[in-house]
Structures are given as C-alpha cells and as structure tokens.
Amino acid sequence: MWIDCHSHTKYSNDNWLEPVDLVRRAKRLGLDGLVVTEHHSVEASEPVEQIGKQEGLLVLRGVEISTDRGHLLAFGLQDDSWNIWGRNNYIPLRELIDRANALGAICVPAHPYREIGLGSLLEGLLDLKGIAAIETHNGGNPDYINDLAVASCEIMHLPSMGGSDCHKLNAVGRCATEFSNPLATWPVSSSRCARAHAAARTTRAFTGKSSYGGRDPNDQMVASEPVGGAGAVWCTGAVEHQWLASGSSGRRLIA
C-alpha cells in the first residue's frame, strides 16, 4: 500500500490547506493513506483523523519537529507530552530522539540534506543514532537533494521513506512510501519498533506527475521505473517496509 508519509494541513499554522481537501485529493490520486505531520503537534491533527474516517481513507498521525539540527519526523507518539522544550526551532535533536524512542515512537530525519540555516543536519546524518529510517524522498526537494539522502540511506542500511511534505493541494502525493503489508497503525511498542527497524529494502520506485506537469488521464499516480528513471517528473519514494510482517528478510539493519 502506498502512503504519503509527510503532509500538512492548516493545523500546522503555516498554510491554508483544508484537511478535507487533503484527504479527498489523496483518495483521488489513488493513495491508500496519509500521515499528517503537523509542525510540533500530534494533537493538532486529531480532526484530520476524524475526516479520514468520514471519507474512508486511512489517516495516521505523526509530527514534524524543528530541532537544532534540522527537522525530525516522529511516528507513534500518542500526544504532545513529548514536548518538554516548548515550541521553538532549536529543540536538541539528540535529546529529542532519545525521548521519542523512550516513549515508543520511531524517528525519521526529514529532508536531512535541505539547507535550512545553521541547524541543518546534512552529513551529520551519517553519525546519527536512534533513527528508524530516513526520508529519502521529500516532495519539496529537488532531486539532487533527495539523491544525497538516498546515498546516505544506502550507506547506513536503513529503510527509506517518502512523503510529499505538502502544504498545498497540488503537492499532495508527490512522494510516497510503499508498505508491503497492510498498515493500520504505527508501531507504538518497543518490540514493534524493533521489528520496524529489522527489515526493509528498496524495491521499486513510484512516479507521480505533478498536477500541472500532467498526470495520466485518470489523474492517478503511475508506478514506473526506479527513481531517476527517464521521464520522471516528480520522483517519489519507494520502499518495501515489513513493519508488521513475520518472516522478514532477516537482514539486521540497525545494530
């Protein structure tokens, strides 16, 4: 199943995207689900989850947190009690990852090679411990920035993830993540997190075309050759995650 793992609505307070429009757009594109990752708050997206239920689309909730070393996505936090630092853009990344992991969440650096001022993670990514995956395909990044994340992901033997990072309607679904197994909820217990760490490998890419670059006539996203393949207008993430599977490939990707 294909899930856009990084999306924002007006509840991020930096855009005007109505949640119902986001959800309907994702459905129309053929996505199987969305993860809403409002800035700094898990609780803010509660109404979006409800809209997902009404519209018949899986909507999961994560959070995107600004830190002293770039942005971090956390999945599996139940509420905003993770935040002992207040709302600021320089939450200490190391402490945040440790706290989120202790709360049973998994952490994924978002667009790690995007320069966002003094605090960008960049190649510091390669030494970062405690992360479950890397966002290799961010819909707001040019390809060369995503390519750096892909290369790091391969070096670190971590799962990769894709998400649009949409703040407006025409960006929804630019990147997504393929999960090989039905996904109903994020892993929240440490044992399930451990399994999430255990095995995932890149399989194939998924290429959507921008809404103004010409989608196919049915306005569906189209699976195609791996990222970087000819004709890709917007590269999208492609990963086989075995979050919930038994009988994984057995590769241990995090020591």
* Shortest spacing between CB 114 and Zn ion, in angstroms: 7
Q: Which of 61/71 has CB closer to Zn ion?
A: 71
Residues that bind Zn ion (CB under 5 A): 64, 71, 110, 165
Q: Which of 31/199 has CB closer to Zn ion?
A: 31
Three-class DSSP labels, 124-175: HHHHCCCCCCEEEEECCCCHHHHHHHHHHHHHHCCCEEEECCECCHHHCCCC
Q: Which of 162/198 has CB closer to Zn ion?
A: 162
* Shortest spacing between CB 34 and Zn ion, in angstroms: 13
Whole-angstrom distance, CA of residue 83 vs CA of residue 23:
27
* Shortest spacing between CB 217 and Zn ion, in angstroms: 30
Whole-angstrom distance, CA of residue 151 vs CA of residue 184:
30
Whole-angstrom distance, CA of residue 236 vs CA of residue 32:
15
CA distances from 254 to 120, 130, 230 (A): 23, 9, 33
Number of DSSP helices (H) and strands (E) in the chain, helices first: 5, 13
Q: Which of 12/242 has CB closer to Zn ion?
A: 12
Closest-by-Cβ residue to Zn ion is: 71
Q: Which of 67/101 has CB closer to Zn ion?
A: 67
* Shortest spacing between CB 132 and Zn ion, in angstroms: 17
Return the percent helix, strand and coil in the chain, to nearest 5.
30, 25, 50
- Residue 255, exposed/middle/buried by CB under 10 A (0-12, 13-18, 19+)? exposed
| Structural tokens at position 12 | 């991020």
Q: Which of 4/165 has CB closer to Zn ion?
A: 165
* Shortest spacing between CB 5 and Zn ion, in angstroms: 10
* Shortest spacing between CB 111 and Zn ion, in angstroms: 6
